[in-house]
Amino acid sequence: MTLNARLLAGLLAVTTAGLVIMGLVSALVLNGYLMHRVDGQLQATRDRAVSRLLKPGLPEQGVAPAQFVVLGVGPAGRVRVLSGDDPSPRQAVAEVQKLGPGELAARARTLEPFSLPGLRAVARPWRSGFVVVASPLTEIHSAVRNLVLSEVATGSLLLAVLIVLGRWLIRRGLLPLSRMAGTAHAITAGGDLRARMPGPGQRTETARLAAAINVMLERIEQAFWARSRSEARVRDFAADASHELRTPLTAIQGYAELYRHGALGPDELPDAMRRIEDEARRMNSLVTDLLELARLDREASLHPVPADLVAIARDAIADATAAAPDRPIMLDAPDTLVATVDEARIRQVFTNLLANVRAHTPPGTPTTIRLAPNLIEVEDEGQGMSPDDTARAFERFHRAEKSGTGSGLGLPIVAAIAAAHGGRAELLSAPSKGTIVRITLGSH
Protein backbone atom coordinates (compact mmCIF):
# COMPACT_ATOMS: atom_id res chain seq x y z
CA MET A 1 0.00 0.00 0.00
CA THR A 2 1.11 3.53 -0.70
CA LEU A 3 1.63 6.01 2.11
CA ASN A 4 -1.51 7.84 0.97
CA ALA A 5 -3.58 4.66 1.23
CA ARG A 6 -2.10 3.70 4.61
CA LEU A 7 -2.81 7.12 6.08
CA LEU A 8 -6.37 7.08 4.76
CA ALA A 9 -6.95 3.54 6.06
CA GLY A 10 -5.56 4.50 9.46
CA LEU A 11 -7.75 7.59 9.59
CA LEU A 12 -10.86 5.59 8.71
CA ALA A 13 -10.00 2.85 11.23
CA VAL A 14 -9.53 5.34 14.06
CA THR A 15 -12.70 7.23 13.13
CA THR A 16 -14.74 4.02 12.86
CA ALA A 17 -13.49 2.82 16.24
CA GLY A 18 -14.37 6.18 17.78
CA LEU A 19 -17.86 6.15 16.27
CA VAL A 20 -18.50 2.57 17.45
CA ILE A 21 -17.36 3.36 20.98
CA MET A 22 -19.41 6.56 21.04
CA GLY A 23 -22.48 4.67 19.75
CA LEU A 24 -22.14 1.90 22.33
CA VAL A 25 -21.67 4.35 25.19
CA SER A 26 -24.60 6.52 24.11
CA ALA A 27 -26.87 3.46 23.70
CA LEU A 28 -25.88 2.13 27.12
CA VAL A 29 -26.38 5.52 28.75
CA LEU A 30 -29.79 5.98 27.12
CA ASN A 31 -30.87 2.45 28.06
CA GLY A 32 -29.70 2.95 31.65
CA TYR A 33 -31.47 6.29 31.90
CA LEU A 34 -34.75 4.92 30.55
CA MET A 35 -34.55 1.82 32.77
CA HIS A 36 -33.90 3.99 35.82
CA ARG A 37 -36.93 6.12 34.97
CA VAL A 38 -39.13 3.04 34.46
CA ASP A 39 -37.91 1.63 37.79
CA GLY A 40 -38.97 4.81 39.55
CA GLN A 41 -42.36 4.77 37.83
CA LEU A 42 -42.85 1.09 38.74
CA GLN A 43 -42.08 1.66 42.40
CA ALA A 44 -44.37 4.68 42.58
CA THR A 45 -47.17 2.80 40.77
CA ARG A 46 -46.71 -0.22 43.07
CA ASP A 47 -47.06 1.86 46.22
CA ARG A 48 -50.13 3.69 44.92
CA ALA A 49 -51.73 0.41 43.83
CA VAL A 50 -51.16 -1.21 47.23
CA SER A 51 -52.52 1.86 49.02
CA ARG A 52 -55.63 1.78 46.85
CA LEU A 53 -56.08 -1.94 47.33
CA LEU A 54 -55.88 -1.59 51.10
CA LYS A 55 -58.70 0.97 51.22
CA PRO A 56 -62.04 -0.76 51.80
CA GLY A 57 -64.85 -0.22 49.37
CA LEU A 58 -62.63 0.57 46.33
CA PRO A 59 -62.75 -1.84 43.38
CA GLU A 60 -59.60 -3.87 42.71
CA GLN A 61 -59.82 -3.34 38.95
CA GLY A 62 -58.06 -0.30 37.39
CA VAL A 63 -55.70 0.46 40.27
CA ALA A 64 -52.93 1.74 37.92
CA PRO A 65 -52.55 3.49 34.54
CA ALA A 66 -53.12 1.35 31.48
CA GLN A 67 -49.44 1.09 30.48
CA PHE A 68 -48.71 -0.78 33.71
CA VAL A 69 -49.80 -4.34 34.48
CA VAL A 70 -50.81 -4.99 38.08
CA LEU A 71 -51.08 -8.63 39.15
CA GLY A 72 -52.33 -10.11 42.36
CA VAL A 73 -50.70 -13.39 43.37
CA GLY A 74 -52.48 -15.54 45.96
CA PRO A 75 -50.93 -17.95 48.49
CA ALA A 76 -51.45 -20.91 46.20
CA GLY A 77 -49.76 -19.15 43.30
CA ARG A 78 -52.98 -18.14 41.59
CA VAL A 79 -52.48 -14.98 39.51
CA ARG A 80 -55.16 -12.36 38.92
CA VAL A 81 -54.94 -9.35 36.58
CA LEU A 82 -55.85 -6.21 38.52
CA SER A 83 -54.95 -3.67 35.82
CA GLY A 84 -53.54 -3.55 32.30
CA ASP A 85 -54.54 -4.03 28.64
CA ASP A 86 -53.74 -7.04 26.43
CA PRO A 87 -51.36 -8.44 25.37
CA SER A 88 -49.12 -7.27 28.23
CA PRO A 89 -51.22 -8.92 31.04
CA ARG A 90 -51.05 -12.33 29.44
CA GLN A 91 -47.26 -12.07 28.99
CA ALA A 92 -46.84 -10.82 32.55
CA VAL A 93 -49.02 -13.63 33.95
CA ALA A 94 -47.04 -16.25 32.08
CA GLU A 95 -43.67 -14.88 33.24
CA VAL A 96 -44.80 -14.55 36.89
CA GLN A 97 -46.09 -18.13 36.87
CA LYS A 98 -42.73 -19.29 35.52
CA LEU A 99 -40.97 -17.36 38.29
CA GLY A 100 -42.75 -19.35 41.03
CA PRO A 101 -43.95 -18.36 44.51
CA GLY A 102 -40.58 -18.82 46.21
CA GLU A 103 -38.61 -16.62 43.88
CA LEU A 104 -41.42 -14.09 43.83
CA ALA A 105 -41.39 -13.93 47.64
CA ALA A 106 -37.65 -13.23 47.61
CA ARG A 107 -38.14 -10.44 45.10
CA ALA A 108 -41.00 -8.96 47.13
CA ARG A 109 -38.90 -8.84 50.30
CA THR A 110 -36.14 -6.78 48.64
CA LEU A 111 -38.65 -4.35 47.07
CA GLU A 112 -36.11 -3.82 44.24
CA PRO A 113 -37.05 -3.84 40.51
CA PHE A 114 -36.20 -6.99 38.56
CA SER A 115 -36.25 -7.99 34.91
CA LEU A 116 -38.46 -10.50 33.13
CA PRO A 117 -38.31 -11.34 29.44
CA GLY A 118 -39.57 -8.18 27.72
CA LEU A 119 -40.74 -6.71 31.05
CA ARG A 120 -39.54 -4.75 34.04
CA ALA A 121 -41.33 -5.51 37.32
CA VAL A 122 -41.46 -4.86 41.07
CA ALA A 123 -43.23 -6.89 43.78
CA ARG A 124 -44.53 -6.24 47.30
CA PRO A 125 -46.29 -8.40 49.87
CA TRP A 126 -50.05 -7.88 49.94
CA ARG A 127 -52.49 -9.59 52.27
CA SER A 128 -51.50 -13.24 52.18
CA GLY A 129 -49.93 -12.94 48.72
CA PHE A 130 -48.10 -10.43 46.56
CA VAL A 131 -48.73 -7.48 44.28
CA VAL A 132 -46.63 -7.42 41.11
CA VAL A 133 -46.43 -4.29 38.90
CA ALA A 134 -44.83 -4.81 35.47
CA SER A 135 -44.16 -2.55 32.48
CA PRO A 136 -43.29 -3.69 28.94
CA LEU A 137 -39.87 -2.60 27.63
CA THR A 138 -41.04 -2.14 24.05
CA GLU A 139 -40.70 1.63 24.11
CA ILE A 140 -37.22 1.49 25.69
CA HIS A 141 -36.01 -1.06 23.17
CA SER A 142 -37.50 0.98 20.36
CA ALA A 143 -35.83 4.19 21.56
CA VAL A 144 -32.43 2.51 21.89
CA ARG A 145 -32.83 0.83 18.49
CA ASN A 146 -33.74 4.13 16.84
CA LEU A 147 -30.71 5.78 18.43
CA VAL A 148 -28.40 3.01 17.17
CA LEU A 149 -29.88 3.18 13.67
CA SER A 150 -29.48 6.97 13.53
CA GLU A 151 -25.90 6.68 14.72
CA VAL A 152 -25.15 4.01 12.10
CA ALA A 153 -26.63 6.18 9.36
CA THR A 154 -24.81 9.29 10.59
CA GLY A 155 -21.54 7.39 11.00
CA SER A 156 -21.80 5.91 7.49
CA LEU A 157 -22.40 9.35 6.01
CA LEU A 158 -19.51 10.76 8.02
CA LEU A 159 -17.17 7.99 6.86
CA ALA A 160 -18.20 8.59 3.25
CA VAL A 161 -17.46 12.30 3.58
CA LEU A 162 -14.22 11.49 5.40
CA ILE A 163 -13.08 9.20 2.58
CA VAL A 164 -13.52 11.93 -0.01
CA LEU A 165 -12.24 14.82 2.08
CA GLY A 166 -9.47 12.84 3.80
CA ARG A 167 -8.14 11.53 0.51
CA TRP A 168 -7.94 15.07 -0.84
CA LEU A 169 -6.33 16.47 2.30
CA ILE A 170 -3.78 13.65 2.56
CA ARG A 171 -2.89 13.92 -1.10
CA ARG A 172 -2.46 17.67 -0.74
CA GLY A 173 -0.38 17.23 2.41
CA LEU A 174 1.87 14.64 0.76
CA LEU A 175 2.24 16.64 -2.46
CA PRO A 176 5.62 18.14 -1.36
CA LEU A 177 6.88 14.61 -0.66
CA SER A 178 5.74 13.52 -4.11
CA ARG A 179 7.61 16.44 -5.66
CA MET A 180 10.68 15.61 -3.60
CA ALA A 181 10.51 12.00 -4.76
CA GLY A 182 10.28 13.20 -8.37
CA THR A 183 13.29 15.46 -7.90
CA ALA A 184 15.28 12.64 -6.27
CA HIS A 185 14.39 10.32 -9.15
CA ALA A 186 15.50 12.98 -11.64
CA ILE A 187 18.80 13.37 -9.77
CA THR A 188 19.47 9.63 -9.70
CA ALA A 189 18.40 9.15 -13.32
CA GLY A 190 20.04 12.21 -14.86
CA GLY A 191 22.84 12.85 -12.38
CA ASP A 192 22.03 16.57 -12.17
CA LEU A 193 23.30 17.51 -8.72
CA ARG A 194 22.24 21.13 -9.25
CA ALA A 195 18.59 20.14 -8.79
CA ARG A 196 17.11 21.05 -5.42
CA MET A 197 14.17 19.80 -3.43
CA PRO A 198 11.08 22.00 -3.62
CA GLY A 199 9.69 22.90 -0.23
CA PRO A 200 6.79 24.98 1.07
CA GLY A 201 7.53 28.32 2.61
CA GLN A 202 5.96 27.38 5.94
CA ARG A 203 7.96 25.94 8.83
CA THR A 204 6.64 22.42 8.46
CA GLU A 205 8.29 19.03 8.83
CA THR A 206 8.30 18.63 5.05
CA ALA A 207 9.98 22.02 4.61
CA ARG A 208 12.66 21.10 7.16
CA LEU A 209 13.23 17.78 5.41
CA ALA A 210 13.54 19.53 2.04
CA ALA A 211 15.98 22.05 3.51
CA ALA A 212 18.10 19.25 5.05
CA ILE A 213 18.16 17.32 1.76
CA ASN A 214 19.11 20.50 -0.12
CA VAL A 215 22.03 21.05 2.25
CA MET A 216 23.09 17.44 1.73
CA LEU A 217 22.82 17.81 -2.06
CA GLU A 218 24.87 21.00 -1.92
CA ARG A 219 27.60 19.25 0.05
CA ILE A 220 27.52 16.28 -2.32
CA GLU A 221 27.79 18.66 -5.28
CA GLN A 222 30.72 20.41 -3.64
CA ALA A 223 32.36 17.05 -2.91
CA PHE A 224 31.92 15.95 -6.53
CA TRP A 225 33.21 19.30 -7.73
CA ALA A 226 36.21 19.02 -5.41
CA ARG A 227 36.86 15.48 -6.55
CA SER A 228 36.64 16.50 -10.21
CA ARG A 229 38.94 19.42 -9.56
CA SER A 230 41.35 17.17 -7.68
CA GLU A 231 41.32 14.64 -10.50
CA ALA A 232 41.94 17.42 -13.01
CA ARG A 233 44.81 18.74 -10.89
CA VAL A 234 46.27 15.24 -10.63
CA ARG A 235 46.06 14.84 -14.40
CA ASP A 236 47.65 18.25 -14.95
CA PHE A 237 50.29 17.48 -12.34
CA ALA A 238 51.09 14.14 -13.97
CA ALA A 239 51.29 15.80 -17.39
CA ASP A 240 53.53 18.59 -16.09
CA ALA A 241 55.73 16.17 -14.17
CA SER A 242 56.07 13.96 -17.24
CA HIS A 243 56.98 16.99 -19.33
CA GLU A 244 59.57 18.17 -16.82
CA LEU A 245 61.12 14.71 -16.50
CA ARG A 246 61.10 14.11 -20.22
CA THR A 247 63.43 17.06 -20.91
CA PRO A 248 66.45 15.79 -18.91
CA LEU A 249 65.74 12.21 -19.90
CA THR A 250 65.71 13.20 -23.57
CA ALA A 251 69.04 15.00 -23.17
CA ILE A 252 70.62 12.04 -21.38
CA GLN A 253 69.25 9.63 -23.97
CA GLY A 254 70.54 11.84 -26.81
CA TYR A 255 74.08 12.02 -25.44
CA ALA A 256 74.03 8.27 -24.76
CA GLU A 257 73.04 7.55 -28.36
CA LEU A 258 75.74 9.90 -29.66
CA TYR A 259 78.28 8.11 -27.53
CA ARG A 260 77.06 4.68 -28.65
CA HIS A 261 77.29 5.66 -32.32
CA GLY A 262 80.78 7.14 -31.81
CA ALA A 263 79.64 10.61 -32.73
CA LEU A 264 81.45 12.22 -29.77
CA GLY A 265 85.09 12.99 -30.24
CA PRO A 266 87.68 13.01 -27.45
CA ASP A 267 87.28 16.75 -27.04
CA GLU A 268 83.46 16.58 -26.88
CA LEU A 269 83.19 13.66 -24.49
CA PRO A 270 83.96 15.58 -21.23
CA ASP A 271 81.40 18.24 -22.11
CA ALA A 272 78.81 15.55 -22.93
CA MET A 273 79.42 13.80 -19.61
CA ARG A 274 79.07 17.14 -17.83
CA ARG A 275 75.73 17.74 -19.56
CA ILE A 276 74.57 14.25 -18.66
CA GLU A 277 75.50 14.86 -15.02
CA ASP A 278 73.73 18.24 -15.05
CA GLU A 279 70.55 16.75 -16.49
CA ALA A 280 70.69 13.83 -14.06
CA ARG A 281 71.15 16.29 -11.19
CA ARG A 282 68.23 18.34 -12.47
CA MET A 283 66.05 15.24 -12.71
CA ASN A 284 67.09 14.15 -9.22
CA SER A 285 66.21 17.60 -7.86
CA LEU A 286 62.85 17.47 -9.59
CA VAL A 287 62.04 14.02 -8.21
CA THR A 288 63.13 15.16 -4.74
CA ASP A 289 60.78 18.15 -4.94
CA LEU A 290 57.92 15.91 -6.06
CA LEU A 291 58.52 13.55 -3.15
CA GLU A 292 58.66 16.55 -0.83
CA LEU A 293 55.28 17.78 -2.05
CA ALA A 294 53.81 14.30 -1.63
CA ARG A 295 55.06 14.16 1.96
CA LEU A 296 53.70 17.63 2.71
CA ASP A 297 50.26 16.54 1.55
CA ARG A 298 50.21 14.27 4.59
CA GLU A 299 49.80 16.01 7.93
CA ALA A 300 51.76 13.23 9.66
CA SER A 301 54.92 14.37 7.82
CA LEU A 302 55.33 17.33 10.21
CA HIS A 303 57.27 17.11 13.48
CA PRO A 304 56.66 20.45 15.22
CA VAL A 305 58.96 21.44 18.08
CA PRO A 306 59.77 24.81 19.70
CA ALA A 307 62.37 26.54 17.50
CA ASP A 308 63.93 30.02 17.28
CA LEU A 309 62.92 31.50 13.92
CA VAL A 310 65.55 34.22 14.24
CA ALA A 311 68.37 31.68 14.50
CA ILE A 312 66.99 29.76 11.52
CA ALA A 313 66.80 32.98 9.48
CA ARG A 314 70.41 33.90 10.34
CA ASP A 315 71.61 30.47 9.22
CA ALA A 316 69.70 30.86 5.94
CA ILE A 317 71.21 34.33 5.40
CA ALA A 318 74.68 32.96 6.02
CA ASP A 319 74.18 30.15 3.50
CA ALA A 320 72.73 32.53 0.90
CA THR A 321 75.57 35.04 1.40
CA ALA A 322 78.11 32.27 0.92
CA ALA A 323 76.40 31.27 -2.34
CA ALA A 324 76.02 34.87 -3.61
CA PRO A 325 78.22 37.37 -1.71
CA ASP A 326 77.12 40.24 -3.94
CA ARG A 327 73.50 40.13 -2.70
CA PRO A 328 72.87 42.12 0.51
CA ILE A 329 70.36 40.45 2.83
CA MET A 330 68.98 42.28 5.89
CA LEU A 331 67.13 40.79 8.85
CA ASP A 332 64.31 42.75 10.52
CA ALA A 333 63.45 40.69 13.60
CA PRO A 334 63.59 40.67 17.41
CA ASP A 335 66.50 39.04 19.20
CA THR A 336 64.59 35.78 19.58
CA LEU A 337 61.27 34.51 18.29
CA VAL A 338 60.28 31.02 19.42
CA ALA A 339 57.52 29.18 17.54
CA THR A 340 56.33 25.58 17.48
CA VAL A 341 57.20 24.52 13.94
CA ASP A 342 58.88 21.77 11.98
CA GLU A 343 62.40 23.23 11.97
CA ALA A 344 63.55 21.38 8.86
CA ARG A 345 60.53 22.58 6.89
CA ILE A 346 60.97 26.20 7.98
CA ARG A 347 64.62 26.06 6.96
CA GLN A 348 63.46 24.81 3.60
CA VAL A 349 61.08 27.80 3.35
CA PHE A 350 63.97 30.24 3.81
CA THR A 351 66.18 28.27 1.42
CA ASN A 352 63.55 28.17 -1.33
CA LEU A 353 62.61 31.84 -1.00
CA LEU A 354 66.22 33.07 -1.04
CA ALA A 355 67.00 30.73 -3.94
CA ASN A 356 64.03 32.24 -5.78
CA VAL A 357 65.43 35.71 -5.19
CA ARG A 358 68.82 34.65 -6.62
CA ALA A 359 67.16 33.03 -9.62
CA HIS A 360 64.81 35.87 -10.57
CA THR A 361 66.58 39.09 -9.59
CA PRO A 362 69.79 40.65 -10.92
CA PRO A 363 72.99 40.59 -8.81
CA GLY A 364 73.16 43.19 -6.08
CA THR A 365 69.39 43.26 -5.47
CA PRO A 366 68.74 44.02 -1.77
CA THR A 367 66.63 41.51 0.12
CA THR A 368 64.93 41.86 3.54
CA ILE A 369 63.67 39.12 5.85
CA ARG A 370 61.06 40.22 8.38
CA LEU A 371 59.95 38.09 11.31
CA ALA A 372 57.00 38.59 13.63
CA PRO A 373 54.83 36.23 15.68
CA ASN A 374 53.38 33.69 13.23
CA LEU A 375 54.69 35.75 10.28
CA ILE A 376 57.62 35.39 7.87
CA GLU A 377 58.20 37.86 5.03
CA VAL A 378 60.89 37.88 2.35
CA GLU A 379 61.01 41.06 0.26
CA ASP A 380 63.29 41.82 -2.66
CA GLU A 381 63.70 45.05 -4.60
CA GLY A 382 63.92 43.37 -7.98
CA GLN A 383 61.99 43.92 -11.18
CA GLY A 384 58.78 42.42 -9.79
CA MET A 385 56.35 40.11 -11.55
CA SER A 386 53.51 40.51 -14.00
CA PRO A 387 49.92 40.16 -12.72
CA ASP A 388 49.56 36.76 -14.43
CA ASP A 389 52.76 35.43 -12.87
CA THR A 390 51.71 36.83 -9.49
CA ALA A 391 48.33 35.08 -9.65
CA ARG A 392 49.89 31.75 -10.69
CA ALA A 393 53.05 31.91 -8.57
CA PHE A 394 52.02 29.02 -6.29
CA GLU A 395 50.87 26.72 -9.09
CA ARG A 396 53.04 23.66 -9.49
CA PHE A 397 55.44 23.72 -12.45
CA HIS A 398 54.60 27.34 -13.22
CA ARG A 399 57.67 29.40 -14.16
CA ALA A 400 57.83 33.13 -14.65
CA GLU A 401 57.59 34.19 -18.29
CA LYS A 402 60.82 36.19 -18.31
CA SER A 403 63.08 33.77 -16.46
CA GLY A 404 61.76 30.37 -17.47
CA THR A 405 64.28 28.80 -15.09
CA GLY A 406 63.82 26.32 -12.29
CA SER A 407 61.33 23.47 -11.92
CA GLY A 408 58.42 25.62 -10.84
CA LEU A 409 58.11 23.76 -7.51
CA GLY A 410 59.94 26.11 -5.11
CA LEU A 411 56.98 28.35 -4.22
CA PRO A 412 54.42 25.47 -4.26
CA ILE A 413 56.59 23.70 -1.66
CA VAL A 414 56.63 26.89 0.43
CA ALA A 415 52.83 27.15 0.18
CA ALA A 416 52.45 23.46 1.11
CA ILE A 417 54.68 23.92 4.18
CA ALA A 418 52.65 26.95 5.27
CA ALA A 419 49.39 25.03 4.82
CA ALA A 420 50.80 22.07 6.76
CA HIS A 421 51.47 24.48 9.65
CA GLY A 422 47.87 25.69 9.52
CA GLY A 423 48.72 28.92 7.72
CA ARG A 424 48.96 30.24 4.18
CA ALA A 425 51.37 31.80 1.69
CA GLU A 426 50.77 35.07 -0.18
CA LEU A 427 52.72 36.80 -2.90
CA LEU A 428 52.55 40.56 -3.50
CA SER A 429 54.30 41.90 -6.56
CA ALA A 430 54.06 44.37 -9.39
CA PRO A 431 56.41 45.25 -12.27
CA SER A 432 59.34 47.42 -11.11
CA LYS A 433 58.11 47.34 -7.50
CA GLY A 434 59.75 44.20 -6.17
CA THR A 435 58.19 41.12 -4.66
CA ILE A 436 57.02 40.19 -1.15
CA VAL A 437 56.35 36.59 -0.15
CA ARG A 438 54.39 36.52 3.12
CA ILE A 439 54.08 33.27 5.13
CA THR A 440 51.44 33.16 7.86
CA LEU A 441 51.83 30.32 10.34
CA GLY A 442 48.95 28.91 12.34
CA SER A 443 49.13 29.24 16.12
CA HIS A 444 50.10 26.05 17.99
Specify burial of residue 131 (Cβ count, 10 A radius: 0-12, 13-18, 19+). Answer: buried
Please state which of the ranges 109-123, 221-235, 277-291, 397-411 shows the lowest mean pLDDT: 397-411
Higher per-residue confidence, 151 vs 188: 151
Task: Provide the pLDDT for residue 443.
Answer: 63
The pLDDT of residue 59 is: 52
The pLDDT value given to residue 294:
67
SS3 102: helix
CA pair distance 393, 182, nearest whole angstrom: 47
Q: How, if at all, do strands 305-308 and 79-83 pair? A: unpaired
What's the pLDDT score for residue 30? 95
Is the confidence at residue 150, as pLDDT, over 80? yes
Beta-bridged to residue 79, according to DSSP, are 73
Higher-confidence residue: 165 or 54?
165
Architecture of domain 225-295: Orthogonal Bundle (1.10)
Q: Are 328 and 357 in contact (CB under 8 A)?
A: no
Q: What's residue 194's pLDDT?
A: 75
302-440 to CATH, choices 3.30.565.10, 3.30.450.20, 3.40.630.30, 3.30.230.70:
3.30.565.10
Most confidently modeled of 99-108, 139-148, 203-212, 295-304? 139-148
pLDDT for residue 58: 46
* Residue 428 half-sphere exposure toward CB, CA atoms < 13 A: 8
